[in-house]
Amino acid sequence: MLRTGIENQTNRATRNVWGVRLVYTPKDGSPISVRAVDGRPLTGVFDSAHEVVELHEGDTISARRPMLEITLEDLGLTPAVGDKYTLSEGAHSGETYTVADVHFDSARAAMLVSVKGDHSA
Protein backbone atom coordinates (compact mmCIF):
# COMPACT_ATOMS: atom_id res chain seq x y z
CA MET A 1 0.00 0.00 0.00
CA LEU A 2 1.42 3.41 -0.94
CA ARG A 3 1.30 6.16 1.59
CA THR A 4 -0.35 9.41 0.65
CA GLY A 5 1.37 12.76 0.87
CA ILE A 6 -0.59 13.67 4.00
CA GLU A 7 0.46 10.41 5.70
CA ASN A 8 4.11 11.11 4.89
CA GLN A 9 3.82 14.66 6.23
CA THR A 10 2.12 13.46 9.43
CA ASN A 11 4.73 10.78 10.06
CA ARG A 12 7.58 13.21 9.43
CA ALA A 13 5.98 15.81 11.74
CA THR A 14 5.66 13.20 14.50
CA ARG A 15 9.34 12.31 14.22
CA ASN A 16 10.29 16.00 14.15
CA VAL A 17 8.45 16.59 17.44
CA TRP A 18 9.03 13.31 19.31
CA GLY A 19 12.07 11.87 17.55
CA VAL A 20 15.45 11.52 19.22
CA ARG A 21 18.80 11.17 17.49
CA LEU A 22 20.41 7.76 17.61
CA VAL A 23 23.15 5.55 16.25
CA TYR A 24 21.88 2.21 14.89
CA THR A 25 24.25 -0.74 14.62
CA PRO A 26 23.17 -3.86 12.70
CA LYS A 27 24.50 -7.03 14.34
CA ASP A 28 26.61 -7.73 11.24
CA GLY A 29 27.31 -4.20 10.07
CA SER A 30 28.68 -0.73 10.71
CA PRO A 31 27.01 1.97 12.83
CA ILE A 32 24.50 4.25 11.07
CA SER A 33 23.97 7.81 12.35
CA VAL A 34 22.47 9.53 9.29
CA ARG A 35 19.27 8.90 7.33
CA ALA A 36 19.77 6.92 4.14
CA VAL A 37 17.42 9.21 2.19
CA ASP A 38 19.02 12.58 2.82
CA GLY A 39 22.06 12.37 5.12
CA ARG A 40 20.33 14.20 7.98
CA PRO A 41 20.72 12.82 11.54
CA LEU A 42 18.96 9.47 12.07
CA THR A 43 16.00 9.79 14.45
CA GLY A 44 13.31 7.54 15.86
CA VAL A 45 10.46 7.82 18.34
CA PHE A 46 11.55 6.16 21.60
CA ASP A 47 9.27 4.95 24.41
CA SER A 48 11.07 3.63 27.49
CA ALA A 49 8.00 1.79 28.84
CA HIS A 50 5.94 0.50 25.93
CA GLU A 51 3.24 -2.00 26.94
CA VAL A 52 3.69 -5.42 25.36
CA VAL A 53 0.73 -7.81 25.66
CA GLU A 54 0.81 -11.44 24.57
CA LEU A 55 -1.90 -14.06 24.70
CA HIS A 56 -0.77 -17.58 25.49
CA GLU A 57 -3.29 -20.38 25.85
CA GLY A 58 -5.98 -17.92 26.96
CA ASP A 59 -3.77 -16.08 29.44
CA THR A 60 -2.68 -12.48 29.05
CA ILE A 61 0.96 -11.71 29.70
CA SER A 62 1.88 -8.06 29.95
CA ALA A 63 5.29 -6.42 30.24
CA ARG A 64 6.80 -2.99 29.83
CA ARG A 65 9.66 -2.91 27.33
CA PRO A 66 11.54 -0.12 25.60
CA MET A 67 10.47 0.44 22.00
CA LEU A 68 11.82 2.46 19.09
CA GLU A 69 9.75 3.34 16.04
CA ILE A 70 11.82 4.09 12.94
CA THR A 71 11.06 4.30 9.23
CA LEU A 72 12.67 1.75 6.95
CA GLU A 73 13.38 4.48 4.39
CA ASP A 74 15.38 6.51 6.92
CA LEU A 75 17.25 3.46 8.23
CA GLY A 76 18.08 2.15 4.77
CA LEU A 77 17.93 -1.51 5.84
CA THR A 78 15.58 -4.02 7.41
CA PRO A 79 16.10 -4.13 11.20
CA ALA A 80 16.64 -7.52 12.84
CA VAL A 81 16.70 -9.12 16.26
CA GLY A 82 20.15 -8.62 17.79
CA ASP A 83 20.75 -5.20 16.24
CA LYS A 84 21.60 -2.41 18.67
CA TYR A 85 20.95 1.31 18.94
CA THR A 86 22.30 4.02 21.21
CA LEU A 87 20.27 7.15 21.91
CA SER A 88 22.20 10.39 21.36
CA GLU A 89 19.87 12.86 23.06
CA GLY A 90 17.01 13.16 25.49
CA ALA A 91 16.50 11.67 28.95
CA HIS A 92 18.03 8.34 27.88
CA SER A 93 21.03 9.77 26.01
CA GLY A 94 23.99 7.40 25.99
CA GLU A 95 21.89 4.33 26.73
CA THR A 96 22.23 1.30 24.45
CA TYR A 97 19.37 -1.09 23.64
CA THR A 98 19.31 -4.46 21.87
CA VAL A 99 16.43 -5.30 19.51
CA ALA A 100 14.48 -8.29 20.88
CA ASP A 101 11.54 -8.28 18.44
CA VAL A 102 10.60 -6.41 15.25
CA HIS A 103 7.06 -5.49 14.13
CA PHE A 104 6.42 -3.84 10.76
CA ASP A 105 3.46 -1.61 9.92
CA SER A 106 1.79 -0.66 6.66
CA ALA A 107 3.46 2.77 6.68
CA ARG A 108 6.93 1.23 6.11
CA ALA A 109 8.00 1.73 9.68
CA ALA A 110 9.32 -0.76 12.20
CA MET A 111 8.58 -0.97 15.91
CA LEU A 112 11.64 -2.38 17.65
CA VAL A 113 10.78 -3.97 20.98
CA SER A 114 14.05 -3.85 22.91
CA VAL A 115 15.95 -4.69 26.06
CA LYS A 116 18.25 -2.20 27.74
CA GLY A 117 21.94 -2.89 27.36
CA ASP A 118 24.19 -4.67 24.90
CA HIS A 119 22.97 -8.27 24.75
CA SER A 120 25.36 -9.53 22.06
CA ALA A 121 25.70 -13.29 21.86
Residue with the bigger pLDDT between 62 and 97: it is 97
- The domain total for the chain is 1
The domain in which residue 39 lies consists of 5-116
- CATH code assigned at 20: 2.40.10
The answer to whether residue 121 sits within a structural domain is no
The answer to whether residue 35 sits within a structural domain is yes
pLDDT digits (tens, 9 = 90+) for 24-42: 999 999 999 999 888 999 9
Rounded Cα gap, residues 23 and 12, in angstroms: 19
The answer to whether residue 66 sits within a structural domain is yes
pLDDT at residue 1 in the model: 44
pTM tops 0.85, yes or no: no
Q: Enumerate residues 6+ apart whose C-beta is below 8 A from 47.
A: 66, 67, 68, 69
